[in-house]
Structure 1
Amino acid sequence: MALSVRSILVTGASRGIGLEFIKQIVALPSAPDVVIAACRDPTSATNLQAVAKSHSSVKVIKLDVEKDEDIESAFKETQAFVGEKGLNVLINNAGVNDKADGGGIYKATRERMQRHFDINVSGPLMISQKFLPLIEMAASQKSSKELNSQAAIIMISSLMGSQGVTFKEGRGISLHYKCSKTAIDMGVILMSRELREAGIFVNAMHPGWVKTDMGGPNASISLEESVAGCLKVISSVCEETNGKLISWEGEIIPY
C-alpha cells in the first residue's frame, strides 16, 4: 500500500532521517498537497530549502521542540496551510542521543538526562497535544480502518527503548537515551488508547540503525532504505498495529 494523504508534518526535517522523509514524501506517486517541514533553524537548513524550492507543496517552518513558543507559532502556521481538512500525519522525528562518555550511570548528569527527556519525550508529547485539533479534524473527514482515510501520530523511537531487547542483547549503555525512548514508547501506548475513538492511530517506529550523524558511519542501513521502509509501514498502520512499536521492516517489537 502506498501512503496517500493530503497533509503531513515532519519535525527535525533539516537533516538525516527527517530530511530524507521530506525528499521521499514529495516523490510519492500520490504526494501530499501539503508537506510541512519543521526544523530549529530554517535559515541555515540549506538542503531542506533546496527541496522546498523545487516543490511548492513543501512549507518550511521554525520549530524547536524544547520551546513552547515555537510549538505555538508552528501550530498557527500549520493551521493556515492545512485549513479545514486538518493534518493527516504528524511524524515526531526530532531527537537527540548524546553518546559522550558511554552514557552510563557513572557519567550521568541531571542536565544530560533532562535534555534527552525534553527533546525525546516532552517535546513530541507537547507537539502532539497542541496539534491534536488539526489531527482530529483530518480524522473526522472519513471513517475507515485504513490510515489513508484517517490520521496518525508517529513517534520515531528505537528498539533501544524496548526493555525486552535491552535485557536480551544489552546494546551498550546509553542510559539517558534508552530511558527517554522507553518513556516515549509508554506515551504511545497511552495515547493510542485515548485517541482510538477519535480515529487517530498512534505508533512508535524504530527506523533501524541508520547511517546518520546520530547513527554513525558503521550503521547497518542507509537513509534511503530506512525511510522507504518507514513510509511503507506508516501507510499500513491500522487498528491491529495501533499503539505498537514497529520496525522499518514492519516487525512488531515487544516493549
Structure 2
Amino acid sequence: MALSVRSVLVTGASRGLGLEFIRQLVALPSAPELVIAACRDPASAANLQDIAKSHSSVKVIKLDVEKDEDIESAFKETQAFVGEKGLNLLINNAGLNEKADGGGIYKAAREVIQRHFDVNVTGPIMISQKFLPLIEMAASQKNSKELNSQAAIIMISSAMGSQGITFKEGRGISLHYKCSKSAVNMGMILMSRELQDAGIFVNSLHPGWVRTDMGGPNADLTLEESVVGCLKEISSAREETNGKLVSWKGEILPY
C-alpha cells in the first residue's frame, strides 16, 4: 500500500466501512501519524475504542453529521490535534440507506428523503466546508500543486448514484438513497473544480456492494476487500481521477 499521509479523518468510524478504514490505516507499513475517528457516540463504539487503546495515533471524537454544533466541536478538536501541519485526508464515509418500503415513487415519504439528503449530502458538504482551512493548510505544505492524497477530500458514494448506470440497469427502488448519492456526486464535481487551483484533490469512491449492515449478507465484497481497494485508489489520487466517481477497483464510472 503506497498511501503515506500524516493525518486522516474518517467519519462514520464506529462500524462498517468506517471502522475497517481505521483498522487498515493503522496497519499500513507507513501508517499515518494521526488517525481521527469520528462517530456519533464514541462511548458506545466498543470496537473503535479497542483500536484506540492499542494505537496512540487514533483519536476518537464525537461527530453527528446532522448537527452543526458537533461539526464545530469536531473541527476544534481536529485543529488542536493537527496543529500547523493541517489535515491531509478527509474521508466523508458516514452515510445512510434505510430500507423504506422499496423506496419507489409510490411509497416515497418526505421525511425519509430529507433524512437521506441531510446525512448523505448536506452533512459531508458542510464538514468539507468546515474542515477546508485545515486541508488548505496541508495543501500549502506540499512541494507542488500536483493533485494527490497529501491534501484530499474523499466522498464515499455509490454507483447507485450514477445516472448513467441507473439509465442502463436501474429499477424504481431506493429512490431516496439513489437521489442523495447522485446529489453528493454533483457536490463532489463542483468542489473539485473550485479547489483544484489550491492543489486539493476531490473525488467520490464507490466501495462496491459490501457485506455491512447497509449492504446486507448477500453482498459481493467483504469489508477488508473493499477497503483495501479504496485505500489503493486513494493512494493513487491524481488529476485523471479528480472530480470523478471511481470504483474500489480503480474504474472511472459514469455519473
Determine if the TM-score, normalized by the shorter chain, exceeds 0.5.
yes
* Cα distance in 2 for residues equivalent to 1:102 and 1:182: 18
Which structure 2 residues correspond to residues 188-207 of structure 1 after superposition, within 5 A?
188-207=188-207
* Cα distance in 2 for residues equivalent to 1:21 and 1:199: 24
Deviation at 1:172, TM superposition (A): 5.5
Which structure 2 residues correspond to residues 38-53 of structure 1 after superposition, within 5 A?
38-53=38-53
Distance change in 2, residues 1:143/1:63 (3 Å): same
- Show the counterpart of 1:5: 5
- Show the counterpart of 1:102: 102
Deviation at 1:22, TM superposition (A): 0.1
* Cα distance in 2 for residues equivalent to 1:226 and 1:128: 23
Q: Could you tell me whether the CA contact under 8 Å between 1:152 and 1:200 is conserved in 2?
A: yes
* Cα distance in 2 for residues equivalent to 1:66 and 1:132: 18
* Cα distance in 2 for residues equivalent to 1:172 and 1:20: 31
Q: Which amino acid aligns with 1:170?
A: G
Unaligned runs of 5+ in 1: none
Which structure 2 residues correspond to residues 103-142 of structure 1 after superposition, within 5 A?
103-142=103-142
Q: Could you tell me whether the CA contact under 8 Å between 1:103 and 1:174 is conserved in 2?
A: yes
- Show the counterpart of 2:187: 187
- Show the counterpart of 2:148: 147
The Cα offsets for residues 114-137 of structure 1, whole Å up to 9 and x where unpaired, read as 100000000000000000000000
Q: Could you tell me whether the CA contact under 8 Å between 2:195 and 2:201 is conserved in 1?
A: yes
Deviation at 1:100, TM superposition (A): 2.2
* Cα distance in 2 for residues equivalent to 1:228 and 1:171: 30
**1:210 counterpart SS class:** coil
- Show the counterpart of 2:59: 59
- Show the counterpart of 1:78: 78
**1:240 counterpart SS class:** helix
* Cα distance in 1 for residues equivalent to 2:51 and 2:131: 24
Q: Could you tell me whether the CA contact under 8 Å between 1:146 and 1:236 is conserved in 2?
A: no
Q: Could you tell me whether the CA contact under 8 Å between 2:86 and 2:138 is conserved in 1?
A: yes
Q: Which amino acid aligns with 1:16?
A: G
* Cα distance in 1 for residues equivalent to 2:142 and 2:152: 13
* Cα distance in 1 for residues equivalent to 2:171 and 2:40: 30
The Cα offsets for residues 191-233 of structure 1, whole Å up to 9 and x where unpaired, read as 0000001100000000000000000000001000000000000
* Cα distance in 2 for residues equivalent to 1:146 and 1:104: 39
Q: Could you tell me whether the CA contact under 8 Å between 1:160 and 1:171 is conserved in 2?
A: no
After TM superposition, what 4+ stretches of structure 1 lie above 4 angstroms from structure 2?
A: none
Percent identity, aligned pairs only, is 82
* Cα distance in 2 for residues equivalent to 1:49 and 1:225: 23
Unaligned runs of 5+ in 2: none
* Cα distance in 2 for residues equivalent to 1:142 and 1:154: 18
Q: Which amino acid aligns with 1:113?
A: I
- Show the counterpart of 1:161: 161
* Cα distance in 2 for residues equivalent to 1:2 and 1:128: 24
Which structure 2 residues correspond to residues 207-246 of structure 1 after superposition, within 5 A?
207-246=207-246
Q: What is the TM-score when the length of structure 2 is the normalising length?
A: 0.98
* Cα distance in 2 for residues equivalent to 1:246 and 1:49: 31
Q: When the two structures are aligned, how many residues end up with a matched partner?
A: 254
Q: What is the TM-score when the length of structure 1 is the normalising length?
A: 0.98
